[in-house]
Amino acid sequence: MIYSNIKNKNEYKFLDEKIQKCFEYIEENNLKDMEKGTYEIDGKDIFVNIVEYKTTKAENRFWEAHKQYIDIHFMLEGKEYININFIDDMEKKPYIEKDDFLELIGDKKISVLMKERDFLICYPNDAHMTAVEVENPEKIKKAIFKVIV
């Protein structure tokens, strides 16, 4: 897991070139004005999902992880908590390969507060629970980059 703000992206030049492409895409495109949907950057190797949803209490959410893709959550509007734990510290449900989805059960180790222009990189060993309200439910918009492992 790596948590930062896009203004600090130069501190992460050591990261894979595919992740650097995501940072470039953020800087070169007005993501806030993009419609909800999926946009290819480099075929199935790198793409971005623009999503909008309303945050809620943690008990209404679920844990997930992915084996085939790294997630880069980039906040466009609003704020949310993303809860984090390691998948090895959680109970694993059956992996759904076609959706690259691993559901998990367990408790959080930390919560990351996501505000505008913050990013969170979740690797395959990072369980994450998104859409957790900060103070009250609120509508958020964010980009979720998917980078093939």
Ranges of each domain in the chain: 2-148
pLDDT at residue 118, rounded to an integer: 98
pLDDT at residue 51, rounded to an integer: 98
Residue with tokens 């859409």: 131
pLDDT at residue 3, rounded to an integer: 98
- CATH code 3.90.1150.10 for 2-148: no
Going by the DSSP 8-state scheme, the letter that residue 35 receives in this structure is P
Average pLDDT, integer, range 58-75: 98
For residue 33, what pLDDT band results from cuts at 50, 70 and 90? very high
Distance between CA 91 and CA 87 in Å, rounded?
8
Distance between CA 39 and CA 145 in Å, rounded?
9
Residue 96 amino acid letter: I
Average pLDDT, rounded, for the chain: 97
Closest residue by Cα to residue 126 from 55, 64, 77: 64
Average pLDDT, integer, range 104-117: 98
For residue 145, what pLDDT band results from cuts at 50, 70 and 90? very high
